[in-house]
């Protein structure tokens, strides 16, 4: 059905800066389009690269004033904090190893943070950021993309409302195939940093994909992982980090989970699928066809929930009518849109409601870091069980 649209202002209410995302970056443009999508955020400052010339070229192309282009994020954090018209938040999209120090710099200067995932390398770093965020009363959003999809929000709502009962079993998978060949040796930059422990940390596949399963499941179900057993495989000549992993999970409610992530499973691109089985019903969501949610109630036929239809909950907010697909950009934009709305509320002193915090935050990022490190620890010890 064609609905009347809400009127969207094009006047940017929030100003933000960016760390990373210079020439050569893939994710930088995604973040900028996502931030711009709903007309709430304007990019006015940046430290787009360690290479200042890159920052200058990027910033000029983006129409940013010269005095808001910085040589380092430390300088940017300090100077923006010192301005009356300083940025309202920073978006950190640099490679993983930069996240911790960059986030710390902005938090310390009282600036709200949006940060790509995984949050950081080490649990103590994540805990420190979490404490800093709380102490300085800031908002911290970790852009786990898939939490932005409307039907993921619908799934979360159905679980919250008890529609599928107590959860018994979770099955999550995220296979890709782009690392089946050792393309890091052929100059593919994404492959190069993903397979490099200095830039990716202790894990490649689980850090990149497994953590998306972990967050999507946590976002939908609210379950906490109690312990896990992970068998990680390093497939690919000369590699030192995992490219495939099988994980069995025990959740805090006594239920079980099984996760599989892979970068070497031919025929898969971004085939994230999450299935939740409860005592009253079940849910299945598949990222490559994201406008649909499979829902089965005990003894009834499978139902295919479709984004934007009348029976869909308002929290699974839609932009366009059902049947006109929304995709990855829109999901990403939903995260920024929610973060921006909440930040505007915060800035104006409005009262929050539960839905204002439906974006992944620094504590969710911390859970992700714990998960990744526990998987690696388990696997290195012979795939034994590890408590989180």
Least separation, in Å, of the C-beta of 281 and its own copies? 6
When the beta carbons of 51 and 177 are compared against its own copies, the nearer one is: 177
> 110: which DSSP letter?
T
State which of residues 16, 19, 37, 115 lies at the interface with its own copies (CB under 8 A). Answer: 37
When the beta carbons of 23 and 51 are compared against its own copies, the nearer one is: 23
When the beta carbons of 180 and 388 are compared against its own copies, the nearer one is: 180
Q: Which of residues 169-188 bind its own copies (CB under 8 A)?
A: 169, 171, 173, 176-178, 180-181
Contact code string over 185-204 relative to its own copies, x by CB under 8 A? ----xx--------------
- How far apart CA 250 and CA 295 sit, in angstroms, is 24
- How far apart CA 8 and CA 122 sit, in angstroms, is 40
Q: Which helix (H) or strand (E) holds 260?
A: strand 256-262
Backbone angles phi, psi at 107, to 5 degrees: -60, -45
Q: Does 291 bind its own copies (CB under 8 A)?
A: yes
Q: Which of residues 89-128 bind its own copies (CB under 8 A)?
A: none
Q: Which of residues 251-290 bind its own copies (CB under 8 A)?
A: 256-258, 260, 262, 264-271, 275, 277-282, 284, 287-290
Q: Which of residues 46-65 bind its own copies (CB under 8 A)?
A: 58, 61-63
Question: Is residue 332 within 8 Å of residue 145, measured between CB atoms?
Answer: yes
How many CB atoms within 10 Å of residue 234? 17
Least separation, in Å, of the C-beta of 292 and its own copies? 9
Least separation, in Å, of the C-beta of 268 and its own copies? 7
Q: Does 294 bind its own copies (CB under 8 A)?
A: yes
State which of residues 75, 110, 240, 329 lies at the interface with its own copies (CB under 8 A). Answer: 329
Residue found by looking up tokens 């300083």 in the block: 86
- How far apart CA 39 and CA 370 sit, in angstroms, is 35
Strand partners, 257: 170, 249
Burial call 273-303: b when 16+ CB within 10 Å, e when fewer: bbbbbbeebbbbbbbeebbbbbbbeeeeeee
Task: Write out the two tokens for 167.
Answer: 């959860």
- Judged by CB under 8 A, which stretch of 35-43, 75-83, 152-160, 363-371 contacts its own copies? 35-43
Q: Does 217 bind its own copies (CB under 8 A)?
A: no
Burial call 101-112: b when 16+ CB within 10 Å, e when fewer: ebbbbbbebebb
Strand partners, 112: 89
Least separation, in Å, of the C-beta of 141 and its own copies? 20
Site residue total, its own copies (CB under 8 A): 105
Q: Which of residues 4-23 bind its own copies (CB under 8 A)?
A: 4-5, 7-11, 23
- Judged by CB under 8 A, which stretch of 70-78, 117-125, 198-206, 242-250 contacts its own copies? 242-250
When the beta carbons of 108 and 256 are compared against its own copies, the nearer one is: 256
When the beta carbons of 300 and 353 are compared against its own copies, the nearer one is: 300
| Pick from 74, 68, 67, 19: nearest CA to 45 | 68
Decide: residue 61, CB within 10 A, 0-12 exposed, 13-18 middle, 19+ buried: exposed
When the beta carbons of 130 and 379 are compared against its own copies, the nearer one is: 379
Q: Which of residues 300-319 bind its own copies (CB under 8 A)?
A: 300-306, 308-311, 319
The half-sphere exposure of 127 on its side-chain side, counting CA atoms within 13 A, is: 4
When the beta carbons of 115 and 167 are compared against its own copies, the nearer one is: 167
State which of residues 80, 125, 184, 326 lies at the interface with its own copies (CB under 8 A). Answer: 326
Q: Which helix (H) or strand (E) holds 168?
A: strand 167-175
Task: Write out the two tokens for 162.
Answer: 């008890």
Least separation, in Å, of the C-beta of 341 and its own copies? 17
The half-sphere exposure of 305 on its side-chain side, counting CA atoms within 13 A, is: 26
Q: Does 3 bind its own copies (CB under 8 A)?
A: yes
Q: Does 352 bind its own copies (CB under 8 A)?
A: no
């Amino acid at each position: 059905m064609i609905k009347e649209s809400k009127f969207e202002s094009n006047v940017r209410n929030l100003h933000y800066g960016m760390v990373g995302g210079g020439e050569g970056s893939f994710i930088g443009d995604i973040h900028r389009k996502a931030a711009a999508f709903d007309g709430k955020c304007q990019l006015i400052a940046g430290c787009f690269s360690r290479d200042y010339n890159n920052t200058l070229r990027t910033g000029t192309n983006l129409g940013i004033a010269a005095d808001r282009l910085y040589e380092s994020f430390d300088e940017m954090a300090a100077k923006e904090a010192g301005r009356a018209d300083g940025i309202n938040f920073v978006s950190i999209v640099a490679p993983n190893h930069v996240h911790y120090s960059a986030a710390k710099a902005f938090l310390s200067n009282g600036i709200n943070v949006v940060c790509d995932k995984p949050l950081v390398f080490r649990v103590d770093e994540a805990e420190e950021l979490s404490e800093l965020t709380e102490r300085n009363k800031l908002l911290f959003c970790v852009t786990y993309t898939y939490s932005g999809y409307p039907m993921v929000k619908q799934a979360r709502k159905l679980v919250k409302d008890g529609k599928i009962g107590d959860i018994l079993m979770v099955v999550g998978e995220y296979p890709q195939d782009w690392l089946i060949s050792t393309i890091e040796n052929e100059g593919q930059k994404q492959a190069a940093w993903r397979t490099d422990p200095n830039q990716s940390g202790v894990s490649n596949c689980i850090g990149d994909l497994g953590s998306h399963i972990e967050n999507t499941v946590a976002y939908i179900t609210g379950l906490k992982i109690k312990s896990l057993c992970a068998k990680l495989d390093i497939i690919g000549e000369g590699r030192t980090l995992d490219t495939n992993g099988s994980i069995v999970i025990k959740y805090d409610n006594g239920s079980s989970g099984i996760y599989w992530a892979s970068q070497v499973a031919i025929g898969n691109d971004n085939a994230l699928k999450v299935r939740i089985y409860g005592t009253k019903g079940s849910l299945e969501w598949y990222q490559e066809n994201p406008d649909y949610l499979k829902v089965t109630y005990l003894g009834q036929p499978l139902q295919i929930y479709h984004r934007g239809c009348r029976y869909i909950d308002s929290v699974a907010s839609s932009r366009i009518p059902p049947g006109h697909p929304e995709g990855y950009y829109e999901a990403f934009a939903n995260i920024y849109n929610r973060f921006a709305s909440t930040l505007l509320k915060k800035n104006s002193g409005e009262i929050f409601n539960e839905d204002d915090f439906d974006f992944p935050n620094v504590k969710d990022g911390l859970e992700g870091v714990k998960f990744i490190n526990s998987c690696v620890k388990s696997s290195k010890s012979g795939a034994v069980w590890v408590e989180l």
